[in-house]
Chain A
Amino acid sequence: MKNTRIMRVLLISFLTLVSLTTIVPFYIMLIMGTYYSNDLFRGIIAVPGTYLVENMKTILASDFFRFYFNSFYIACSVTVLALLVSAMSGYAFSIYTFRLKKAVFNFVLATMMIPTQLGLIAFVWEMKELGILNTHLPLIIPPVASAFGVFWLTQYFNGSLPREVIESARIDGAGEFRTFFQIALPFVKPALTSLGLLFFLWTWNNYLTPLVVVSKESLYTVPLGINVLSQLYRTDYGAQILGLSIGTIPIIVLFVVFSRSFISGLTAVAVKG
């Protein structure tokens, strides 16, 4: 018993120490948003400044809520669709055997090795031909096909979904799609949670694609909208950082809400395994 308590104290103190290296910068980021831009460059700051209201005014003078809404619904759409598509593909690679499976899987892997910006010009041109430039579709549809997501879920299905479960579901006469949705998906819930969080974050932070496909201020996303809070020879870092900090709120909320399902995922597996 005593041993346990020592373990616990050691563990928590070590993790707290590590956490300090991450909390302190995050905290500094938050209070950077309360400073006058140029005062940020004078050295490390430790206490909140007095410029919060001014920075907030700068942000609100732009169409910030619109940007926020745009980012939010784009990120949500991408997250949901990408999770579905990745899970379906990961399931296909993990459960079925089919012609060229290995080749297709390697192909998916290979696509991760191409830097994402590579096809940008051609992409914009294609979007123009499809008539969806200056809409949000080019921001929502392409990231739905995520090689990273497919790879992750394939590995996760491989590691955590027992074949027998699927087989017995089939014997019970469940259709393939029903098996997938009702039997298989619950097994990968923790994987879906962590992946969903990353999809949301990546879409939320994406800067380059919105920059080149959207040329109407009403369609801007947060990173784009925040980035224009500057003039040529002077970037308003205080206001920008405040805006971007506000942008991290949904991510933190999602994280707190969904980290619960790491644990529920654990119990689900424990019960079934």
Chain B
Amino acid sequence: MNTVKTTTGPRKRNPLAKYPYLFLAPFLVIFFIFQFLPIVFTLGISFTRWDGINPMKFIGLENYRRLIFSDTRFFLTIFNTFVILLFSLPFTVVFSLVISHLMNSRYLRFKRVFELTNFLPYITTPVAIGLLWSILFDWKYGTVNKVLVSLGLIQDPMNWLGMSSFARIVVSLIVIWKNYGYLSILLLAGMSTIPPELYEAATVDGANSRQTFFHITIPQLRPILVFVVVTSVISGLQLFDEPFMLFKGGPTGAQPYGGPGLSCLTMVMNFYDAAFQYFDMGYGASIAYGMFVVIAFFSFLSLKFSMRSEKK
């Protein structure tokens, strides 16, 4: 049984064989009990019709049939999520790479101050962000419209939050603004491990800073970049907070849930709506599993893609 090997050890009867399991045990045990079991149980719920109160009714694959064949909403949410992801992800990654590269520059002073300021959007309270952005982009009284009109760039105020495409752009902007600092912290942690000698040697060889960036920083940073891109794709596909801040709906919400024409209804918002707002638990579970398939497919795609480029 124990044909475990380590990077150093001999092939047979390895005294180190038990260690990987010991190291992994706490994670796996906690994960299994507290996260995996509930998720498996929820798979069971997805084959039922259940409002949380009345007894569950087993309905087989009906929820999945409805999800794929009769509910156009599910595909709309996939589309919305992807549009926002495509608007925001490339900008966020490139921008945070640039920022962290600049922050890593030896010319820079007040480094820690900038580290903190970049991170501020990530810790600014969502309620405040939602309020702020809805005031900024208000149709009649918003700051953005006032500025644009006074500059003569537009004639009449734009209804930013009232029109599908603009609403998606505003959400993407918030996503970029909120996340770039967090990503640059991860990238900066990665850059801090690149041995300075590499840069020194390159400078001696006469490389300019652009060259060192592309030939030293990027290659050295690969594992971290893979991490950043893959986790950003995964979390981007689970986008919830930013559109929810603006398009929360409800009896005292200024904007309908999911935005004008449901243009900012993401996959998770749709799930949340079904499971926790109109308590269609069985269908909600099937939305989540449908979503899981979509996310898994594209995450693995992005993983494969970035892993391939990792193996030089």
Contacts and interface: CB of A to CB of B under 8 A. Distances in A.
Please tell me whether chains A and B touch each other in their complex, using a CB distance cut-off of 8 A: yes
B55 interface: no
A25 B292 contact: no
Contacts of B238: 113, 115
B42 A233 contact: no
Interface stretch (A50-58, A59-67, A117-125): A117-125
Nearest to A151: B227
A86 B28 CA distance: 11
In this complex, the member of B19, B192, B196 whose beta carbon has the largest number of chain A beta carbons within 10 angstroms is B192
Given A4-B107, A99-B3, A194-B186, A269 B42 contact: no
B24 A26 contact: no
A193 B177 CA distance: 22
B296 interface: yes
A252 B24 CA distance: 32
B118 A198 contact: no
A118 to B, nearest CB: 5
B112 interface: yes
A266 B194 CA distance: 8
In this complex, the member of A104, A118, A190, A235 whose beta carbon has the largest number of chain B beta carbons within 10 angstroms is A118
B288 A118 contact: yes
Interface in B32-51: 34-39, 41-42, 45
B102 A11 contact: yes
B38 A126 contact: yes
A221 B5 CA distance: 46
A104 B24 contact: yes
State which size class the interface on A falls in: 35 or more
Interface of B: 3-8, 16-17, 19-21, 23-24, 26-28, 30-31, 34-39, 41-42, 45, 52, 99, 102-103, 105, 107-110, 112, 114-125, 127-129, 131-132, 135-136, 141, 143, 177, 181-182, 185-186, 188-190, 192-193, 195-196, 220-224, 226-227, 230-231, 234, 237-238, 252, 268, 271-272, 275-276, 281, 285, 288, 291-292, 295-296, 299, 303
B24 A265 contact: no
Interface string A61-96: 000000000000000000000001110110111011
A79 B107 CA distance: 33
A228 interface: no
Given A120-B38, A269-B193, A8 B292 contact: no
A141 B200 CA distance: 46
Given A11-B107, A97-B6, A262-B192, A19 B102 contact: no
A190 B189 contact: yes
A167 B7 contact: yes
Contacts of B3: 99
B107 A7 contact: yes
A103 interface: no
Given A113-B296, A122-B38, A156-B224, A92 B24 contact: yes
A223 to B, nearest CB: 9
A96 B20 contact: yes
A163 B7 contact: yes
A252 B127 contact: no
B30 A145 contact: yes
B227 A115 contact: no
Given A23-B120, A121-B42, A251-B123, A43 B8 contact: no
Contact of A26 (B4, B6, B124, B271): B124
Nearest to A272: B195
Interface in A102-151: 104, 108-115, 117-123, 125-126, 138, 141-142, 144-145, 147-148, 150-151
A206 interface: no
A8 B34 CA distance: 50
A41 B188 CA distance: 38
A98 B27 contact: no
Sort A-B residue pairs by CB-CB distance and give the 3 closest, nearest first: A119-B38, A92-B23, A122-B41
Given A23-B117, A112-B231, A145 B131 contact: no
In this complex, the member of B34, B112, B116, B291 whose beta carbon has the largest number of chain A beta carbons within 10 angstroms is B34
A20 to B, nearest CB: 9
B186 A118 contact: no
Given A119-B39, A160-B193, A18 B118 contact: yes
A193 B16 contact: no
Interface string A229-270: 000010101001100110110011001100110110110011
A86 B27 contact: yes
